[in-house]
Structure 1
Amino acid sequence: MTEKREYTGDYPNKRLYLPGPTEVREDVINAMSQPMFGHRMDRMTDLYTTIVEDTKEFLDTDNDLTILTASGTEFWEATTLNLVEDSLLVPTSGAFSERQANVAERLGKNVDRIEYTWGEAVKPDDIKTALETADTQYDAVGMVMNETSTGVRNPVEEIGEIVSEYPDTYFIVDAISCLGGDYIDIEGSGIDAIFTSTQKAFAMPPGLAVCVVSDDAYEQELEKDSASWYGGFQRCLDYYDRKGQTHSTPAIPIMLAYRRQMKHMLEEGHQARDRRHREMAEYTQEWAKQHFDLFAEEGYRSQTVTCIENTQDIDVGQTIGQVSEKYDYVFSNGYGDIGEKTFRIGHMGEHDLESIKALTDAIEDVAGL
């Protein structure tokens, strides 16, 4: 049985270079300290309509959008329940794409996998072949845009073009660890539902999940006999249209933080934010190739998380601990079966080249590179 470990609040601050949560601006943190108000007051309508419409503007989308108090995991469940009657095609290339498939199976759906070795990217031709040769038409294709466990960025745009040729097959995209730091044309890529969590590239506190929904996806849910209760498109979007609020009590302080951070994101702009993340990724990947190697397949590397192959056989856990102790910087070990074989650097949110170089200098010092 786990023993209680009292939270004291007396901890050193650490700069986060994790795949999430990531660094949060001080004014965004401070925005959560406002007096509480009711979630059915006019003030809540002002707050919620602001963050929804600002997010649509930032993402350059005219599609409907909902923001719920939840982790991104909520929309794994909700999109499956809302859009999948029976069968789902899921390409698996890491821990989180495999988990997406597992969630659908736990919900009673028939899941066909296209399995890739960890580190490999999903190939559009494989999706095309699977759709062409399937015995029945899939209700949806579900995939991870940015595989956090391996540092792979999958070619969602090309796959979306293929799925668009099957109008009764919906395209569901988990963009949890990249949306806001990796530009994607949502409508242009034929995406019916794409979702993220606020603690990643949005650089906000954890606790909110965002989902963009196409008109076709909304209409599909209306025709189903059952759908997600909490994350149902109709329930969320219709309540927003009528009231400008969420159907259930939200985490108001985090939404106040969201409002402040989204203003920063709009000021920077989606394309500029994409460029900044690309510059950080290119620097980190070049550094990794000088000292180690990259785990992700060439040509398919993430803009927000670099997974580095531990070719020097350093003690990953010890190095992380020493960097944390000496510099107050925290990066991440590898995930699952590749824990000691790799380590990961999150270069997302409010980081820039200068702050990423500070981390790599610290790793070089501690590891004696």
Structure 2
Amino acid sequence: MTEKREYKDDYPEKKLYIPGPTGVRDDVIEAMCEPMFGHRMDRMTDLYTTIVEDTKEFLGTENDVIILTGSGTEFWEASTLNLVDENILVPTCGSFSERHANVAERLGKDVDRLEYEWGQAIKPEDIREALESSDKHYDVVATVMNESSTGVRNPIEEIGDVVAEYPDTYFVVDAVSSLGGDYVDIDEHNVDVLFASSQKAFAMPPGLAICTVSQDAYDREVGKDSASWYGGFQRCIDYYDRKGQTHSTPAIPIMLAYRKQMKYMLEEGHQGRSERHREMAEYTREWAREHFGMFPEEGYESQTVSCIENTQDIDVAATIEQVSEQYDMVFSNGYGSALGEKTFRIGHMGEHDVESIKALTDAIEDVAGL
């Protein structure tokens, strides 16, 4: 049985280079300290309509935006319940795409996996082949944009273009670990549902799920006999249209932080923020190839999380611990037992820049004796 470990007040502050949560600006943290107010007051309408419309502006989408209290992975369940009657195609290339498939199975759906070796990227032509050759009709193709377990960035734009050729099949994208740090034109590439979490490339505190919903996806749910209650597209969007609020009590302090950070994001712009993340990713890859190797398939490397192959057989766990103790910086080991010591991961997302990433790689070099 797990024993209580009392939370203390003397933890050293660590700079985070993990695949989320990421560091948060001081004034964004401070924004959460406003006096509490009611979630049905006019003040809440001002707050919620601000963050929803600012998010639409930042993403450059005409689709509806839902912001709910919860993890972004809430929309694994919600999108499946809202859109899938029976059959769903889930390409799997790592832990999080596999979890998406597992969620759909737990919800009683007929799941077909298009399986890739970890480190390989999903290919649009394989999606086309699966859709054309199957004797089933797939209600949804569900794809992860950024597989943070392996550092793979899947070509969701090209995949979306393929799915667009099948108008009765909806395209759902898990962008939890990339949205806000890797530009995607949602409307141009037939993305019916795309969701993310506040604590990763958005550089906000954990606790909010962000989702974009196309008109076609909304209409699809309206025509179904059942859907998600908490994450139902119709329920969330209709309530927003009527009241400018969420249907259930939200985490108001985190939404205040979201409002503050989104102003910074609008100032930098979607393309500008993506460019900064691209520069960090390119630096990290160059450093990794000089000292180690990259785990993902070449040409499909993530723009927010680098998964680095431990070709020098360093003690990953010990290196992480020593960098934390000596430099107050935290990066991540490989994902799970399969990749734990074979790889390590650097999260270059949120408010980092090339100089702050270089500070980490210098620390790793020092501790590992590179």
> What band does the TM-score fall into relative to the shorter chain?
over 0.9
Task: State whether structure 2 residue 166 is matched by structure 1 residue 148.
Answer: no
- Partner residue, 1:44: 44
**Deviation for aligned residue 1:137:** 1.3
- Give 3-state SS (helix, strand or coil) of 1:5's partner: coil
Shift of 1:102: 0.2
Matches within 5 A, 1:14-163: 14-163=14-163
What secondary structure is seen at the aligned counterpart in 2 of 1:191?
A: coil
1:34-58 CA-to-partner distances (Å, cap 9, x unmatched) read 0000000000000000000000000
Structure 1, 167-176 or 2-11: larger mean CA deviation? 2-11
- Letter of the 1:263 partner, please give it: K
Q: CA deviation at 1:282?
A: 0.2
Q: CA deviation at 1:276?
A: 0.2
Q: Residue 171 of structure 2: SS of its match in structure 1?
A: strand
Partner AA of 1:339 in structure 2:
G
Q: Tell me the equivalent position of 2:289.
A: 289
- The Cα offsets for residues 276-329 of structure 1, whole Å up to 9 and x where unpaired, read as 000000000000000000000000000000000000000101000000000000
Post-superposition offset of 1:10: 1.2
| C-alpha deviation, 1:104, in angstroms | 0.2
| Letter aligned with residue 45 of structure 2 | T
Which structure 2 residues correspond to residues 241-260 of structure 1 after superposition, within 5 A?
Answer: 241-260=241-260
Q: Structure 2: how far apart are the matches of 1:272 and 1:191?
A: 22
CA distance in 2, matches of 1:97, 1:205: 24
3-state SS of 2:188 partner: coil
- Whole-Å separation in 1 of the counterparts to 2:273 and 2:4: 42
Instruction: Report Cα offsets for 1:226-272 as digits up to 9, x if no partner.
Output: 00000000000000000000000000000000000000000001110
- The code of the aligned residue for 1:292 comes to F
1:334 match: 334
- Which secondary structure state, in structure 2, belongs to the residue aligned with residue 357 of structure 1? helix
**In the TM superposition, what are the counterparts of 1:97-246 in structure 2 within 5 Å?**
97-246=97-246
In the alignment, the residues of structure 2 paired with residue 17 and residue 338 of structure 1 have an alpha-carbon distance, to the nearest angstrom, of 18
- Deviation at 1:140? 0.5
Tell me the equivalent position of 2:304: 304
Residue 343 of structure 2 is aligned to residue 345 of structure 1: no
Amino acid at match of 1:63: N
Structure 2: runs of 5 or more not aligned: none
SS of the equivalent of 1:112 reads strand
User: Once the two structures are aligned, what percentage of the paired residues are identical?
Assistant: 77
With normalisation by structure 2, the TM-score equals 0.99
Q: TM-score, length-normalised on structure 1?
A: 1.00
**Partner letter of residue 107 of structure 1?**
L
Which one-letter code corresponds to 2:167 in the other structure?
A: P
Match in the other structure for 2:357: 356
Shift, 1:89, TM fit = 0.3
Name the SS of the counterpart of 1:88 in structure 2: strand
* SS across alignment from 2:71: coil
Distance 2:267 2:182 in 1: 17
Corresponding residue for 1:317?
Answer: 317
Q: Secondary structure at the match of 1:67?
A: strand
CA shift, 1:360, in A, is 0.2
Indicate the SS of the match to 1:12.
coil
Separation in structure 1 between the aligned mates of residue 120 and residue 205 of structure 2, nearest angstrom: 31
Counterpart AA for 1:349: G
Identify the residue that residue 271 of structure 1 maps to in structure 2. Answer: 271
Counterpart residue type for residue 205 of structure 1 = P
Summarize deviations over 1:120-164 as a string: whole Å, max 9, x none: 000111000000011021000001000010000000000000000
Distance, in Å, in 2 between the alignment partners of 1:73 and 1:210 is 10
Distance in 2 (alpha carbons) for counterparts of 1:151 and 1:123: 16
SS at 1:282 equivalent: helix
- Cα deviation, residue 353, structure 1: 0.5
Instruction: Show CA shifts across 1:65-96 (max 9, x none).
Output: 00000001100000000011100000000000
For 2:367, the equivalent position in structure 1 comes to 366
Q: Secondary structure at the match of 1:138?
A: coil
In the TM superposition, residue 107 of structure 1 has moved relative to its aligned partner by 0.2
Which amino acid in structure 1 is aligned with residue 366 of structure 2? D
Q: CA deviation at 1:367?
A: 0.3
Provide the C-alpha distance between the structure 1 equivalents of 2:80 and 2:265, rounded to a whole number of angstroms: 30
